[in-house]
Amino acid sequence: MGSVRWAFRCGSWTPSRSDWLLAARCIQREEKERIGQFVFAKDAKSAMAGRLLLRRFVCERMGIPWSEIRLERSPRGKPYLAAPLKVSSDSGPEPPSWSFNLSHQGDYAVLAAEQGVQVGVDIMKIAMPGSSSVPEFFRIMMRQFTAYEWSVIQSAGSEHQQLAAFYRHWALKESFIKAIGTGLGFNLQRVEFHLSSEPLTQKCVLRQTKMHLDEEEEDWIFEESLLDAEHHVAVALGPADKAGSAPLRPSLPPPTSFTLLSFSDLMASASPLTEEDSACWDSFKTKAEAPQRQRETHATK
């Protein structure tokens, strides 16, 4: 069984013209066009990093040449490998299939992949709400968490600690939603998290948090870690979507922490799929990094 946890710090990535143009050539045309439509450079960079993380993973870990990889999205937007369907391997039992997922928020893009289980990942940056106070922000978000979860969040201590607990729960919920691929439309009150009593610190991966679905404890595993003091990541691992699949916990390898990749790492096995299109750079270089409010918050940190 294999596990992959990769992170790329897109917040501090300032691509040169040649980097950006090469990256744009190495992703599928429709994704290049989608990325070109973002208003802010921050969003374009994180989406680009996400595509490169996915392709690097499929190429290096699934053994598929870059130029043969065809990624598509489910009707609800979850990326999957559409081609090639059959990965050639030596004779013998077929290895468990890979599941993978991406998240990008704050300063990072992350990828989690695992063999033989369902995977969802979510990264959240602990940030003060932009235009409202913390209590007002919590009031707006009231429906996203259960009464029990709110009691845990609101008794976490200082406002910053409450926000950290809020984003920790948020990442857990989203990681589950992303593993099952439903996206918006899932009633978030149906899932309730019971956090591990062990403190979450940088450089450790916790697996003790439990999830209840419709009030029953579920056989899912949640790996929680901090990429740095402000970025919380949750990886949801669920039983493979097959009748009679084995219980999850005994078959999983020990938890792996996220490895930080550089741009050269991302591009190490990349090969161009399309011709150079200098308009990509012309459009990218005119974009503001982020909305004014986010830039101000960043500058005052």
Ligand X SMILES: CC(C)(COP(=O)(O)OP(=O)(O)OC[C@H]1O[C@@H](n2cnc3c(N)ncnc32)[C@H](O)[C@@H]1OP(=O)(O)O)[C@@H](O)C(=O)NCCC(=O)NCCS
The residues of the shown chain that bind ligand X, judged by CB under 6 A, are 47, 50, 76-79, 101-105, 122, 144, 170, 173-174, 177-178, 181, 183-184, 188
Closest CB to ligand X among 102 and 153?
102
Closest CB to ligand X among 188 and 240?
188
Closest CB to ligand X among 33 and 88?
33
Q: At what angle do helices 17-25 and 41-62 cross, to 10 degrees?
A: 50
> Which residues partner with 99 through β-bridges?
114
- Tell the smallest beta-carbon distance from residue 173 to ligand X (Å): 4
- Tell the smallest beta-carbon distance from residue 300 to ligand X (Å): 25
Closest CB to ligand X among 32 and 78?
78
- Tell the smallest beta-carbon distance from residue 250 to ligand X (Å): 26
Closest CB to ligand X among 47 and 221?
47
Q: Show the 3-state SS of the chain.
A: CCEEEEEECHHHCCCCHHHHHHHHHCCCHHHHHHHHCCCCHHHHHHHHHHHHHHHHHHHHHHCCCHHHCEEEECCCCCEEEEECCCCCCCCCCCCCCEEEEEEEECCEEEEEEEECEEEEEEEEECCCCCCCCHHHHHHHCHHHCCHHHHHHHHCCCCHHHHHHHHHHHHHHHHHHHHHHCCCCCCCHHHEEEECCCCCCCECCCECCCEEEECCEECCCEEEEEEEECCEEEEEEEEECCCCCCCCHHHHCCCCCCCEEECHHHHHCCCCCCCCCCHHHHHHHCCCCCCCHHHHHHHHCC
Residue nearest to ligand X (CB): 77
- Tell the smallest beta-carbon distance from residue 105 to ligand X (Å): 5
Query: How far is CA 298 from each of CA 7, 80, 295, rounded to the nearest angstrom?
Result: 21, 34, 5
Closest CB to ligand X among 48 and 221?
48
Closest CB to ligand X among 50 and 116?
50
- Tell the smallest beta-carbon distance from residue 36 to ligand X (Å): 13
Closest CB to ligand X among 142 and 184?
184
- Tell the smallest beta-carbon distance from residue 93 to ligand X (Å): 29
Q: What residues contact 158, with CB distance under 8 A and at least 6 apart? A: none
- Tell the smallest beta-carbon distance from residue 91 to ligand X (Å): 34
- Tell the smallest beta-carbon distance from residue 188 to ligand X (Å): 5
